Amino acid sequence: MLDKVVETNMVKIVGKVNSEKEYSHEMFGEKFYSVIIEVPRLSESVDLLPITISERLLINMNFSIGDYIVIQGQLRSYNRYINSSNRLILTVFAREIYIPEEEEIEEILRSPNEIYLDGYICKKPVYRVTPFGREIADLLIAVNRSYNKSDYIPCIAWGRNARFCENLIVGDHIKLWGRIQSREYQKKLNSGEVETRTAYEVSISKLEFIENDNNRVDEDEEEIEK
């Protein structure tokens, strides 16, 4: 059974293996490997998501590019020092992995990309309207995990959810459901060159504001403090 901290961050994705396994790092004598998974969208495009897998999960697990696999785990973040600056890196940390039977694939692809996060606003949301009139809000959510660590997850809300997020403040507690998406963008470097990068974020489909657990001060309390 997953403990309470783990349950604040749950991911399940289904997709095709898009790259060979590569050695990532070693921690406490345990080796970890990375692989890219191609996860379909309803729009018939795909998200290319990075997965981190422990060598323990790869025992007797043979998969190749093009094979479907199912990953359950957490979306984690860490800072990497690249070209004299810190960059937030996101990866799906696998806790369970399996290769589905061929007859299962059509069924499990009906919900290939699901994430649930329970965390706190750690940066004032940025609300904007696109030239086409689409309302968007960008959020950064801090999600606690074991050993007093936190993951910092960029999220994006749309429409009515975006309007609601515009009024959230740092410290507000929210729960959200959605999917992990990838997108490419252009970054101009100090040298003048333009580099194509991939960003990852959670696209929010549903959210819940936890009203009784945030840093807001009631009006009565404000009067007392004055």
**Alpha-carbon distances of 200 from 20, 27, 133, 226, rounded to whole Å:** 20, 24, 23, 44
Q: What is the pLDDT of residues 136-145, one digit of tens each?
A: 999 999 999 8
**What is the tens place of the pLDDT at every residue in 143-169?**
998 888 899 999 999 999 999 999 999
Confidence band of 213 (pLDDT split at 50, 70, 90): confident
CA–CA distance, 181 with 16 (Å, rounded to integer): 15
Residue 6 above 70 pLDDT?
Answer: no
Answer yes or no: is pLDDT of 25 > 60: yes
pLDDT tens digits along 35-79: 999 999 988 899 999 999 999 999 989 999 999 999 999 999 998
Q: Which fold has domain 6-225?
A: OB fold (Dihydrolipoamide Acetyltransferase, E2P) (2.40.50)
Q: What are the tens digits of pLDDT across the range 109-123?
A: 999 999 999 999 999
| Spatial distance between the Cα atoms of 92 and 98, rounded to a whole number of angstroms | 15
pLDDT of amino acid 42:
86
| pLDDT category of residue 191 using cuts at 50, 70 and 90 | confident
How is the chain split into domains, by residue range? Answer: 6-225
The confidence score (pLDDT) of residue 140 equals 97
Whether pTM > 0.75 for this model: the answer is yes
Average pLDDT in the 194-208 region?
92
- Average pLDDT of the residues of the chain: 89
| Among candidate residues 91, 87, 97, 66, the one with its CA nearest the CA of residue 77 | 91
Q: Is residue 96 pLDDT above 90, yes or no? A: yes
Secondary structure in 3-state letters for the chain? CCCCCHHHEEEEEEEEECCCCEEEEEECCEEEEEEEEEEECCCCCEEEEEEEEEHHHHCCCCCCCCCEEEEEEEEEEEEEEECCEEEEEEEEEEEEEECCCHHHHHHHCCCCEEEEEEEEEEEEEEEEECCCCCEEEEEEEEEEECCCEEEEEEEEEEHHHHHHHCCCCCCCEEEEEEEEEEEEEEEECCCCCEEEEEEEEEEEEEEEECCCCCCCCCHHHHHHHC
